[in-house]
Structure 1
Amino acid sequence: MNLFSFFILLKYRILACDWKALTILKGINSANSQFFCLWCYCQKSQICDFSIPSWDIKRSSKDQAHELRNGSRRGYIKSDLLPFIDYKNIVPDDLHLRIRISLKLFNQIVTWAIDQKNEERLEVEMKRIGVSFHFWEEQGDDKSNASVKKWSQPSGDDLKFIITKTQLRNIIDDRQDRHLVNVASLSVVQLRDELRNMGLDCKGKKAELVSRLEQTLGRGVKVRAKARSRLQVNFQFHDCDDDKDNRPTLDVDGLQELWIEFDDLMEALRALPQTEKYMESNEFHLKAKAWASKFRKLTFDEDVTPYIHTMVYHVPYFLKRFGFIHDIGVSQVERKNYDHRQAYFGSTNRSGGKVKKKVSLQILQRENRMLYIAREKLLREKRSYKKVSHVIPYSQWIDRISN
């Protein structure tokens, strides 16, 4: 928490940090639980329903104590460590909101690129916009020794650059059905469900489950998800040459618009009131709800995360209350943590060398020097450089040998 947030906390008892820390401090279950939300009692089965007008903040320390005593819980698992901070004073952090949703959008494109065998096009596009990205394969830990494809995860700064600069047309193409995926793309839970429904053995690692399912259905057969709730996703197997004309398409241009609209929403949270990019709470709520509905239409219900629910239903409340929530977040602390991590690898001896000095002391001393230079507006003088030749003339070399 930054210094500005700390002073607000002292006066108004406001809390802002990342989702995991909030669940620990407030004694609430994790984001993948049935009652996932930190502010309301929305359930997992309702997370994709954006036709609901609003989800008001209903959680309170009093209700939490009552639920824990009666055993009904509704997402509460432990006592509140900060009962003096009301749930209406827990402000969503816009930095983590941007990073988590951006990462979801980016990983969707990566998986579609892999499915279309466009990995090289993706790497070329990332290189074009100046983002370090690459694929690699690791050996699995199962008996079949199947290789697993993995890819680098961009940083927060890179994600912002990717969302604003990437041309998706350079990576993926429109496809007959965005719901068609390889059997290997299913999760372990989905694979086990399908094997269980077919009366087959559902035990083993993922590679074994994929092999067992492909032996039953045949290699090259793809699966299509039915449009049902995110908790009851079933798959029907068929030849992918059937029913081509009736399939929905993977709309690349629509995905590009989705990325642009998401960046506009995130920039609105950083904009000061009465500026061009700023949005009032009602406008932000309507645009966020429209964006989330479009996200469902273009992608999958399974990819709707608690952060999207928070952006649609709870961020507008705090925008209306405070007008500007960026300075209440933790972006300043995260930036300092990033700078210190960079300094550890680039500006310290990491506890090595002849002079043993604590790494933390080296980082703080470096920061003090930079602050002093910035305050005094000092300019570093370029030191003179004299090239020294290390080539020994032939005559001197003969003299050294003879002596």
Structure 2
Amino acid sequence: MDEIICLYVGKEKYETLAKVGHLFEYQLWDLKENGIYDDNGIHWPIEFFFSGDWKFMYNIMGLNAPNVKYFCLYCNCEAGERWNMDLQWPINENTKCKKKPVLFTAIKQENYVSDKLHLLLRISDILIECFFNDLFKKKEFEQQIKSQIEQTMKTIKVHFEFFKSKSHGKWEWTLLMGSDKKKVLQYFPVSQFILGKHDEDIEKLWRDFYGLYVVLRKPFLTNSEIDDFEIKVKQWIYLFCRPNQG
């Protein structure tokens, strides 16, 4: 069951969150240690979980920033080794990045969970941006490809258009909501716009990531499904990072 703990007025930064969190720190520990008793005298133990976008979780967990050398919420993986799925990193905590105390000590390290929607939004943004940046290099983009993409988006029922920024003159595009991004990942025909093996890889990245996201949203997974998910995630990362290896 999800419950709102508090609402506060202020910026999303560690110092502000620390002041707010201190107000109910004791209550969290009391609930964790003692649980609650309902009107029938039945005791209910309490276990806390925390979920949020990556930046917010960094603040709560007292870490630096998602773009630092030791970036992970759960281990000491180095940014330069992210692609190497042969390495094993114990899932415990990030000790090399941590600079400040964890704000909610009543929550176990393994109970901090990244929000699935923000993972979808961030990764899909990167996939779409890489694809468009390739197309912008083509001389026929403005006269031909631009309108073709806009029309293709319309066929999958996504409102979309390109436009040039008034400030720097570069191409930009309609910001898509999560529901539209899922349609694009699932249905947009990448192979119609980039020819060769490259287009197959890009389209596979889009489709496979959507498939991984669908698995993430399942309310329950068997052990075999979890093992299969791990294998597919590693394969996806290998494909995504392949041009940068070597």
TM-score, normalised with respect to structure 1: 0.46
Q: Note the 1:77-226 alignment, pairs <5 A.
A: 77-116=99-138, 117=141, 118-140=145-167, 147-174=169-196
Match of 1:288 among 222, 233, 237: 233
Percent of residue pairs identical: 26
1:290 shift after superposition: 1.0
| Aligned counterpart, 1:21 | 56
| Aligned counterpart, 2:2 | 2
Q: 2:228 is aligned with what amino acid?
A: E
Provide the C-alpha distance between the structure 1 equivalents of 2:66 and 2:220, rounded to a whole number of angstroms.
Answer: 31
The question of 1:58 aligning with 2:92 is answered yes
Closer/same/farther in 2, CA of residues 271 and 12 from structure 1, 3 Å limit: same
Provide the C-alpha distance between the structure 2 equivalents of 1:138 and 1:4, rounded to a whole number of angstroms.
Answer: 39
Closer/same/farther in 2, CA of residues 127 and 300 from structure 1, 3 Å limit: farther
Q: Note the 1:238-277 alignment, pairs <5 A.
A: 251-273=198-220
1:279 shift after superposition: 5.8
Closer/same/farther in 2, CA of residues 99 and 147 from structure 1, 3 Å limit: closer
1:23 shift after superposition: 0.9
Closer/same/farther in 2, CA of residues 279 and 167 from structure 1, 3 Å limit: farther
Any idea what SS the aligned residue of 2:51 has? Answer: coil
Provide the C-alpha distance between the structure 2 equivalents of 1:153 and 1:51, rounded to a whole number of angstroms.
Answer: 36
Provide the C-alpha distance between the structure 2 equivalents of 1:137 and 1:266, rounded to a whole number of angstroms.
Answer: 32
Any idea what SS the aligned residue of 1:16 has? Answer: strand
1:92 shift after superposition: 2.4
Write the deviation string for residues 355-403 of structure 1: whole angstroms up to 9, x where unpaired. xxxxxxxxxxxxxxxxxxxxxxxxxxxxxxxxxxxxxxxxxxxxxxxxx
Closer/same/farther in 2, CA of residues 4 and 288 from structure 1, 3 Å limit: farther
Closer/same/farther in 2, CA of residues 153 and 3 from structure 1, 3 Å limit: same
Provide the C-alpha distance between the structure 2 equivalents of 1:23 and 1:101, rounded to a whole number of angstroms.
Answer: 18
Residue range with higher mean Cα deviation, 15-24 or 74-83: 74-83
Any idea what SS the aligned residue of 2:175 has? Answer: coil
Provide the C-alpha distance between the structure 1 equivalents of 2:82 and 2:221, rounded to a whole number of angstroms.
Answer: 32
Q: 2:74 is aligned with what amino acid?
A: W
Number of positions where the alignment pairs a residue of Structure 1 with one of Structure 2: 205
1:2 shift after superposition: 3.2
Q: 1:15 is aligned with what amino acid?
A: F
Q: 2:205 is aligned with what amino acid?
A: L
1:19 shift after superposition: 0.9
1:4 shift after superposition: 10
1:274 shift after superposition: 7.0
Question: Mind listing any 5+ residue stretches in structure 2 that lack a counterpart?
Answer: 6-30, 36-45
Match of 1:40 among 69, 72, 75: 75
Write the deviation string for residues 96-127 of structure 1: whole angstroms up to 9, x where unpaired. 22221122111121112212223222222112
Q: 2:211 is aligned with what amino acid?
A: D
TM-score, normalised with respect to structure 2: 0.73
Write the deviation string for residues 251-308 of structure 1: whole angstroms up to 9, x where unpaired. 2123222222222211112234479xx96221111111011111222x557xxxxxxx
Provide the C-alpha distance between the structure 1 equivalents of 2:209 and 2:186, rounded to a whole number of angstroms.
Answer: 10
Any idea what SS the aligned residue of 2:181 has? Answer: helix
Q: 1:19 is aligned with what amino acid?
A: W
1:37 shift after superposition: 0.7
Any idea what SS the aligned residue of 2:172 has? Answer: strand
> Does structure 2 retain, via aligned residues, the 8 Å contact 1:28–1:75?
yes
Provide the C-alpha distance between the structure 2 equivalents of 1:25 and 1:272, rounded to a whole number of angstroms.
Answer: 25
Any idea what SS the aligned residue of 2:114 has? Answer: coil
Q: 2:48 is aligned with what amino acid?
A: R
1:93 shift after superposition: 2.0
Provide the C-alpha distance between the structure 2 equivalents of 1:150 and 1:257, rounded to a whole number of angstroms.
Answer: 24
Question: Mind listing any 5+ residue stretches in structure 1 that lack a counterpart?
Answer: 64-73, 141-145, 175-249, 302-403
Any idea what SS the aligned residue of 1:267 has? Answer: helix
1:55 shift after superposition: 1.9
Any idea what SS the aligned residue of 1:123 has? Answer: helix
